[in-house]
Amino acid sequence: MSSLPATVPFVDLSAQHDALQAEMFEAMQAVLQRGDYVLGQAVTDFEAAFAQASAMPYGIGVACGTDAIALGLQACGIGPEDEVILPANTFVATLIGVLRCGAKPVLVDCDPLTGLIDLVAVEHVITPSTRAIIPVHLYGQMVSPSQLLTLADTYGLIIFEDAAQAHLAEREGYKAGSIGTASAFSFYPSKNLGALGDGGIVLTRDEAVAAQLRALRNYGAPRKYYHTEIGTNSRLDSIQAAILNVKLPHLGIWNQTRHEIAEQYNILLSPFKAQGIIPLQNQADTGHVYHLYTVRILSGEDGNPAPISREVLQERLTAAGVETGIHYPLPCHLQPAFAGLGYRAGDFPVAEQMSQEILSLPMYPGLTEAQINQVVGALTDAIETPMPMQLSA
């Protein structure tokens, strides 16, 4: 089956960049004129602005989201012999961050309705060595703050949020990144708030953690040529910070637009629920910022099976010019790189099943009503087209 050029790309940043091009050029030019390319004024300004927008007192810019997790955990005092609980259903950066700070990752399953960490499962794996929990605010939806705080208070755990997909998300009166001791964000270009390259930030309410992070990101030096830690070089570039400063004031509107697009999808896809095509549940109302719009194509193990497999559906959408994604096709515990952790297939059945069923549809500010209708129309055609007959052996 030949495919057409994508008329509905999975992500398209051109609309927001075109509108802000002159302002972004001006911001970059200001950095060039000042010559403060590393840890310059634009970084300081952005750190303060993003922290304030997220209801946290301190922000420390770093080179990427993975560094934000690894250095953030280290600054919180997490290290060897400490156990850190995180979901199996997340991007590998969460797990890599735990391993890089020397801690022992302890994986748990996810909620089949949302894909978020299963907090009931968390209680079953807590030991005297457990120091922290990383709730991943996946797809743009926060894990319940009230449940997290109750859990942390009961067992004396540090909450370190992975909010890489949840910029300015809200739930139960909390902003993403403001629940626990610290949190990590990524500014990879396709994020709700994206740079023109890699970038990240750690938010914290603890002044000592903030000071430690500033040293760790800069070779372990709290001041020039004086090194108190074995740190690294992980600094948010001034040029990227300048871009983020331009974009940040627009983030609220962009998030609102994402939510409106999701509501349109919800209405148009509602007839497909009876056919086993189920959007992941929104439990945060308007606080869900929909970094991704993800549906499950049920295989029959959990509800009525869809009349088409995820793989065939994705192929047919591609052929119709609609790009899609899978987040994520293989859970962390089944990735070859982490075989040494000792997990096996079957350990986290919900995450494993979801990895075979989830499909992310196009989602970005600038996605038009016509494109949304095209996505749903292509999905309708894909389902109504008979599956090819299988020849018996």
User: Using the 8-state DSSP alphabet, how is residue 330 labeled?
Assistant: S
State the average pLDDT for the chain.
Answer: 96
User: Catalytic: which of 191, 224, 247, 273?
Assistant: 191
DSSP states of 217-235 = TBTT-SBTTB-SS---B--
333 by DSSP, 3-state: which? helix
Distance of alpha carbon 356 from alpha carbon 32, whole angstroms: 48
pLDDT digits (tens, 9 = 90+) for 298-321: 997 666 899 999 999 999 999 999
| Number of helices followed by number of strands (H, E) in the chain | 12, 12
Distance CA 166, CA 73 (A): 19
Cβ atoms of 140 and 111 within 8 Å: the answer is no
pLDDT band at 391 (very low <50, low <70, confident <90, very high): very low
State residue 1's pLDDT score.
47
Distances (CA, A) of 113 to 194, 281, 311, 329, 358: 28, 5, 21, 17, 11
313-360 confidence digits (pLDDT tens): 999 999 999 999 999 999 999 999 999 999 999 999 999 999 999 999
What pLDDT, on a 0 to 100 scale, did the predictor assign at position 385?
A: 80
pLDDT at 269 over 70: yes
C-beta of residue 260 within 8 angstroms of C-beta of residue 267: no
The structure tokens listed for 385 are 């087209």
Q: Considering only CA atoms, which of 205, 108, 120, 201 is closest in space to residue 159?
A: 205
Confidence of residue 54 (pLDDT cuts 50, 70, 90): very high
> Largest Cα–Cα distance in the chain?
73
* Residues 193-219 pLDDT 10s: 999 999 999 999 999 999 999 999 999
What per-residue confidence (pLDDT) applies to 303? 66
pLDDT at 300: 77
Direct distance between the N- and C-terminal alpha carbons of the chain, in angstroms, rounded to an integer = 24
The vertex-347 CA angle with 346 and 350, nearest 5°, equals: 75
pLDDT digits (tens, 9 = 90+) for 85-108: 999 999 999 999 999 999 999 999
Q: What is the percentage of the chain residues whose pLDDT exceeds 90?
A: 94
d(CA 124, CA 347): 14
DSSP letters, 119-149, are: HHHHHHH--TTEEEE--B-GGG-PPPHHHHH
pLDDT tens, position by position, 278-289: 999 999 999 999
- CA–CA separation, 390 and 327 (whole Å): 29
- 217, HSE (Cβ side, Cα atoms, 13 Å): 29
Is 191 an annotated catalytic residue?
yes
Give residue 387's pLDDT: 59
Q: What domains lie within the chain, and their CATH numbers? A: 14-250 (3.40.640.10), 251-383 (3.90.1150.10)
Q: Looking at the predicted structure, is the pLDDT value of residue 393 above 70?
A: no
The CA angle 293-298-303, to the nearest 5 degrees, is 120
Name, in order, each residue with C-beta under 8 angstroms of 237's C-beta and a sequence gap of 6 or more: 37, 38, 43, 63, 197, 199
Instruction: Work out the average pLDDT over 3-31.
Output: 92
- The alpha carbons of the chain give a radius of gyration, in whole angstroms, of 22
pTM higher than 0.85: yes
Sign of CA dihedral 37, 38, 40, 43: positive
Say what the pLDDT of residue 388 is: 59
